[in-house]
Amino acid sequence: MESGDRERAHVYVSGQVQGVFFRDSAWQRAEQLGLAGWVKNLPDGRVEALFEGEPEKVREMIQWCESGPPHATVESVDAEFEAPDEELRGFEVR
């Protein structure tokens, strides 16, 4: 896929998003959508993620983050779009 066909979003999710399987659920959803990147917990209680792939799939993943898995309580999702500088491979929980 050419870099012009890909989009990258750096996402921060705030709320009750740790200890509710957010990362594992995000990994499963990203795999279903064919996205590359990673997701991890931050010390301040937020979840940080990087999603890369087809623009409509990246946006669908950001929309998923707005509700998250069943036990999550999402207060806000901040997404910053970046130009992909290298093609990511696979999706991982960090």
pLDDT digits (tens, 9 = 90+) for 4-53: 688 999 999 999 999 999 999 999 999 999 999 999 999 999 999 999 99
Structural domain of residue 67, as residue ranges?
A: 3-83
What total number of domains does the chain contain?
1
CATH number of the domain bearing residue 17? 3.30.70.100
Cα separations (Å) of 57 from 43, 73, 92?
28, 23, 17
Whole-prediction pTM value?
A: 0.92
Catalytic residue among 6, 8, 29, 41: 41
Whether 41 is catalytic is yes
User: How do 91-93 and 73-82 pair as beta strands?
Assistant: unpaired
DSSP three-state, residue 71: coil
Q: For 45-69, what is the mean pLDDT?
A: 97
Whether 23 is catalytic is yes
Q: Has residue 93 been placed in a domain?
A: no
Q: Which residues contact 43 (CB under 8 A, 6 or more apart)?
A: none
